[in-house]
Amino acid sequence: MRRLFRNPVRLVPFAFLVPILLGTGLLMARWATIDHERPPVVTALFTATSAVSVTGMAINDTPNYWSDWGLLVITLLTQLGGLGILTVAALVILVVSSQLGLRNRLLVQAETAEFGVGDVGRLLRRIAVTVFACEAVMTALIAGRLWLAYDYPPGRALWSGVFHAVQGFNNGGFSLYSDGLLAFSRDPWVSLPLAVGTIIGGLGFPALFEAVREWRQPAHWAVSTKLTIWGSAVLLLIGFAGLLAAEWTNARTIGQYDVPGKMLASFTQIALSRTGGFSVLNIAALHEESYPLLIVLMFIGGGSASTAGGIKVSTFFLLAFTIWAELRGEPDVTVGHRRVANASQRQAVTVTLLGVALIALGTMTLLLLTEGVRFVAALFEVTSAFSTTGLSTGLASELPAGGQLTLTVLMFIGRVGPLTLGSAIALNTRRRLYRYPQEQPIVG
């Protein structure tokens, strides 16, 4: 048992597998569905995995299939999954740093808002306070809007506010409405709190805590914080401009909105598409050119040690800086007057290429198991599952059991894989007392 807790690589999968199995059992109870019939095992497993991995992808009409008790189970599993990934990520970083040399330990401690191994309790309390405070603010804004503007009864408004606040901050995507959040696409009092909460939850506690602490001196931020904060801002801006241009004349999405409505719906959808999984637009009605944009954003995901999935923003932009340095013939990769270690560059390449390989394999598997599926639709669903985003074109509900199990496995791998792989690489770092003769193979 002691060895299990010392090795975060072994701890991470179990930390998520146990609540998934427990959630599956709870969702298979008759009281979990509206018609009081036991759901199929695949349906319960898919939904529990989607909730714990904070994906939010559904294969049935959530509000018309699950009872209030079933929705409560989904809410609790999402909250548990969100807190779980933040807690496990914090412990992994601290445990990994404790097993490194003094120099690397100091570097890691500088990247984790000055928390040390002895500060685990304080760190976890700070994470919990941040989560619940953000969710409380989101709940108040959404519930108040539904009560005052949409004439919801107070109890129903509060329940809807709590449910969507938990889903939003934890980057889940389940909704109490059959068409997602389409009805609120032009309502800033509902869509913006969810978008902002999703962005904050997707930044990750190291970047978030340091950015808040050193908000007056962003030049002093650690490299990972700079990559996460500024990288997220760049992705939001590019995604917003791209989706706005692609859907400007699409009458099935934002084509009939006025200019402020187009801008609000486009920004909200991009903010939610990167990690959150809510849909304020009809995803199946998007123009073809919008799908590659969303696929790339989902694949990148959010910040490290956050509720978001994907290969992470810092990984993507570290690769971008590596490419830029190579094109310029620079001997080192530098970010903000700091030289990036070669080991970090190799880790970024490893995580990215393995992510690409998993998505390619998943897409091929989905195409083999299902006839008549478009390649773009299959790629979109697989990327959404792997990145734990949860957006869907509607294909997930039409897949056979084999296809749904494929997405289930991808959601689990996408949740635990990057963190497990990163900690495994860090703990497996070794030094050799010799080096082989060097050669330079031809590239390209």
Q: pTM score, two decimals?
A: 0.88
Confidence of residue 238 (pLDDT cuts 50, 70, 90): very high
Predicted confidence at residue 165, as pLDDT, reads 95
Q: Mean of the pLDDT values across residues 278-303?
A: 93
Q: For 97-121, write each residue's pLDDT tens digit.
A: 554 443 444 344 444 444 444 456 6
Listed range (1-5, 17-21, 112-116) with the worst mean pLDDT: 112-116
**Averaged pLDDT for residues 274-300:** 91
The residue type of 155 is: G
Q: According to the model, what pLDDT value does residue 426 have? A: 55
pLDDT reading at 269 higher than 70: yes
Q: Is residue 6 very low, low, confident or very high in pLDDT (cuts 50, 70, 90)?
A: low
Average pLDDT, the chain: 85
pLDDT tens track for 131-176: 899 999 999 999 999 999 999 999 999 999 999 999 999 988 899 9
